[in-house]
Amino acid sequence: MSQTGTGQPEPSAKPDKDTLDVFVFPPRDPNRRDEFHWSKRLEVGTAAEEAAATFGYSGGQPTLSREGKPLDRTKQLVAEHVRDGEVLGLVDVAGGV
């Protein structure tokens, strides 16, 4: 542990408040849950493309969904109110993945 300016010990493992741990499931296997560690400022579309590649999908316009409703690919995860530990689905805004 290091010391702060007040003489109090500083925790050695501080949680990163800028990172989200999110679980994503693919459309063909809703029981599968893969964990992703993303910056809150990452765009939804970029996160979805990473998840799609992990699940073996390519092409299309993947996005993440909450309760069947697609999230805006152009917004940051934080702007779409994605929470740490949340479970999201992977969908294609063009109609399939």
CATH number, domain with residue 84: 3.10.20.90
Tell me if 69 is assigned to some domain. Answer: yes
Tell me if 76 is assigned to some domain. Answer: yes
Tell me if 9 is assigned to some domain. Answer: no
Each of the 97 residues of the chain gets a pLDDT tens digit; together they read 334 444 544 444 445 689 999 999 998 999 999 999 999 999 999 999 999 999 999 889 999 999 999 999 999 999 999 999 999 999 998 754 4
Tell me if 12 is assigned to some domain. Answer: no
Q: What is the pLDDT of residue 93?
A: 85
Under 8 Å CB-to-CB from 80, ≥6 apart: which residues? 44, 64, 71, 72
What one-character DSSP code corresponds to residue 2?
A: E
Residue-range definition of the domain harbouring residue 81: 18-92
Overall domain count for the chain: 1
What one-character DSSP code corresponds to residue 35?
A: E
| Cβ atoms 90, 61 nearer than 8 A | no
pTM of the model: 0.80
Tell me if 4 is assigned to some domain. Answer: no
| Cβ atoms 10, 17 nearer than 8 A | no
* 52: three-class secondary structure by DSSP: helix
